[in-house]
Structure 1
Amino acid sequence: MTQPNSVTKLNADWQQPIDAFLHYLQYERGYSKNTLSSYQRQLEQTALSIIEYAKQQANSGQYHWLNLEQNQLKQHINTLRLQAVKPRTIALKVAALRSFFGFMQKQHLRQDNPAQYLTVPKAARDLPKNLAVDQVNHLLSFDSSDDILASRDKAILELFYSSGLRLEELVNLNINDIDWQQKLLRVSGKGNKQRIVPVGSVALTAIKHWLNMRPAFCQQLAEADQLALFVSKQHKRISTRQVRQRVQLWAKKQGLSQHLHPHMLRHSFASHMLESSQDLRAVQELLGHANLSTTQVYTHLDFTHLAKVYDSAHPRARKK
């Protein structure tokens, strides 16, 4: 089974079920644009590969989402393995297929889920990189008092590190999501799940300074963006792409030697919180992780410290 040409288009019989699935994920599950694009890409690539395989087989019959079996999907996954596709990419494709066929089951279009028992190669999970506390302090040490872009960017960087937000969570924030009195922030996370996180005083001060300058970017704001916390000089809600660019710009300006992206600030927040508090459950809640195992992989656990805590606290840890 060969990989298809990426510019090939699917016919309506193959494309319409994908479109219905994406509509469901967007409007009923609240998935992000990035996740929707990823699912669409994985499903369309799978469909095109299976169609190409069918053309090469004599009397292969007419494949379709409604009659695909586990064997056809296995052939596609095996092809990816032979082509040395990364295990994480294969796992993403299998996850998309499982979810898609599960949706078809709910819609009573299929009685089974042929992707349910597909196996994927295990991928090594590298610990994300983070900044040291001194590096974060140096990154955030620039003066933003008289520059509107610097003021906005300072507020963005401070908020990333203060509250451990995801990139999309930050750009979707509105002014009325901030509880100034309680120093709390309402965040809409993955699957449109909301959580409340604290905001540090330094970050709140930076946000207040930015809000004083924000009107200069608000003359032509669309109605949907009127309450956007962070806006661009194009007079609209700031985009994820713009935030990435500005984070990298300030890393360069401040002389950081490593490539910096927003997720690294989120990880730095989690790592520093865990190192100080040793409260894994609290960090899980702050990050908005559904499973504790995600937090364990995502953060650098100080096992030496944990061993000391165990030795000092457990009644049978040491001989008396």
Structure 2
Amino acid sequence: MNFDYLREAFVEYLQVEKNASPYTVKFYQDDLDTFFLFLKEEGIDHVKDVDYAVIRVFLTNQYQKNLSRRSVSRKLSSLRTFYRFLEREEKVESNPFLQVSQPKMSKSIPDFLYEEEIEKLFHISDLSTPLGQRNQAILELLYATGMRVSECANVKLAHLDFMIGTVLVRGKGNKERYIPFGRYAQDALERYIQDGRRKLLKHTTDYSESLFLNARGTTLSTRGFRLVLNKIVKDAALTVHVHPHKLRHTFATHLLNAGADLRSVQELLGHKNLSATQIYTHVSKDHLRNIYKNSHPRA
């Protein structure tokens, strides 16, 4: 069977029917390529010939490459979805991946920044320069809203409402949600939009509706966001590793530690299931435990 044809058909299904983001589609493509290469090496020419035994060999093959349980779990999810698509298209009679359980995952507590650490980051950017104003606005907005970097990269000027202090965010599956932001983020955004962004636009003849621009005046990529954050952390001389998603973890943790309810945090983060948000309660419980130990006379 032509694996390339199936791959293209599946990608089209993800893009058109599932409205998957380019980032998600790429992960599916990579997982399919890995699986198809394995099938060719094993001399398996048809997706119908894949059964439980073949899948077990595939999993063993992946673990031998020192892949983490999380990576293997993602590949299994991708292939389970792929075979569900094949079933629908009547390319196979059943989904063999339904017989395989996901690897047990160790529940790790999300890494986050303490208030003193994140406070240092807000005093680094040179607010007299366009890029410094942009970087400060990025940092303030990410921490104020907890949005994903991919979501932040897609924010347009029109998505901001300064009258009520909200931003329209398009998340996974193109689902929309409104997230409020506070005075610090609003001040940083207004400064950047009225000054720095206008100056950056002078570097190009093509007007961009994107909120955040690079030095050439065009849309800042998700990779650009990471480079910006890395520079801020380096200039702040922090010894901790800070990645964009860590600001999302920090946002959720600080809200829960301050007494926000789990459902509200779930809505702000754009989580489909409450279980995805509950992982942050572990951090919150640790925080409360420390307060108890330090405050109770007989702790």
Give the TM-score, by structure 2 length: 0.89
2:63 is matched with: 81
Contact 2:125–2:232 (CA<8 Å) still a contact in 1?
Answer: no
Q: Which of 133, 137, 142 is 1:155 aligned to?
A: 137
Q: Distance in 2 between matches of 1:174 and 1:28?
A: 25
CA shift, 1:83, in A, is: 4.4
| Match of residue 14 from structure 1 | 3
The residue number in structure 1 matching 2:122 is: 140
Would the aligned equivalents of 1:29 and 1:192 in 2 still touch at CA under 8 Å? no
- Describe the SS at the equivalent of 2:96: coil
- SS of 2:284's equivalent in the other structure is coil
CA contact (8 A) 2:124 2:235 kept: no
> Which residue of structure 1 lines up, in the alignment, with residue 215 of structure 2?
233
Aligned to 2:150: 168
Rate the CA distance shift 1:19–1:109 in 2: closer, same or farther, 3 A.
same
Structure 1 pair 251–303 and aligned structure 2 pair: CA distance change class (3 A): closer
Structure-2 separation of matches of 1:222 and 1:107: 43
Q: Which amino acid aligns with 1:13?
A: N
Whether contact under 8 Å (1:140, 1:157) holds in the other structure is yes
Q: Is 1:110 matched with 2:120?
A: no
**CA contact 2:130–2:200 (8 Å) conserved in 1:** no
Question: In 1, Cα distance between the equivalents of 2:63 and 2:127?
Answer: 54
**For 1:105 and 1:179, how far apart are their aligned partners in 2?**
45
Report whether the alignment pairs 1:36 with 2:25.
yes
CA distance in 2, matches of 1:303, 1:255: 27
1:218 is matched with 201
- Specify the alignment match of 1:178 in structure 2: 160
How many Å separate the matches in 2 of 1:262 and 1:127? 17
**Does residue 269 of structure 2 align to residue 284 of structure 1?**
no
Q: Are the structure 2 counterparts of residues 17 and 131 from structure 1 closer, same or farther at C-alpha, using a change threshold of 3 Å?
A: same
Give, in whole Å, the separation in 2 of the partners of 1:103 and 1:261. 34
Asked if the contact 1:221/1:236 (under 8 Å) is kept, the reply is no
1:51 aligns with: 40
Please list the CA deviations of residues 95-115 of structure 1 after superposition, one character each: whole Å capped at 9, or x if unmatched. Answer: 010011111222233331111
The match for 1:317 is none
Percent identity over the alignment is 31
Counterpart residue number, 1:192: 174
User: Larger % of helix: which?
Assistant: 2
Instruction: Give 1:253's aligned residue.
Output: 235
Give 1 or 2 for the bigger CA radius of gyration: 1
Query: Which string of whole-angstrom CA distances, capped at 9 and with x for unpartnered residues, describes residues 295-315 of structure 1?
Result: 112452326749x9xxxxxxx
Q: 1:68 aligns with which of 26, 35, 50?
A: 50
CA distance in 2, matches of 1:66, 1:235: 51
Write the distance in 2 (CA, Å) between the matches of 1:298 and 1:52: 42
- Give the deviation of 1:84 after TM superposition: 3.9
Q: What is the correspondence of 1:298-317 to structure 2 with a 5 Å cutoff? A: 298=280, 300-302=283-285, 305=288
After TM superposition, give the deviation of residue 91 of structure 1 in Å.
Answer: 0.5
Which residue of 2 is the match for residue 271 of structure 1? 253
The 3-state SS of whatever aligns with 1:277 is coil
Range with greater deviation from structure 2 (26-35 or 126-135): 26-35
What TM-score do the two structures reach when normalised by structure 1?
Answer: 0.84
In the TM superposition, residue 278 of structure 1 has moved relative to its aligned partner by 4.2
Q: Which moved more, 1:20-29 or 1:91-100?
A: 20-29
Letter of the 2:285 partner, please give it.
Answer: D
Q: Mean Cα displacement is larger for which, 121-130 or 44-53? A: 121-130
Q: Matched residue of 1:116: which SS?
A: helix
| TM superposition shift of 1:82 | 4.2
Q: Residue deviations 1:38-95, cap 9 Å, x none?
A: 11111111111111112xxxxxxx5312443333222211322344432111111100
Using the alignment, how far apart are the partners of 1:195 and 1:124 within structure 2? 31
Cα shift at 1:120? 3.4
Aligned residues: 288
SS of the residue corresponding to residue 302 of structure 1 reads helix
Work out whether residues 66 and 110 of structure 1, in 8 Å CA contact, stay in contact via their aligned partners in 2.
yes
State the partner residue of 2:102: 120
Q: Which runs of 5+ in 2 are unaligned?
A: 292-299
Deviation at 1:191, TM superposition (A): 1.3
C-alpha offsets along residues 161-187 of structure 1, whole Å, 9 cap, x if unaligned?
000010100001001111111111110
- What RMSD over aligned residues (CA atoms) do the two structures have, in Å? 2.1
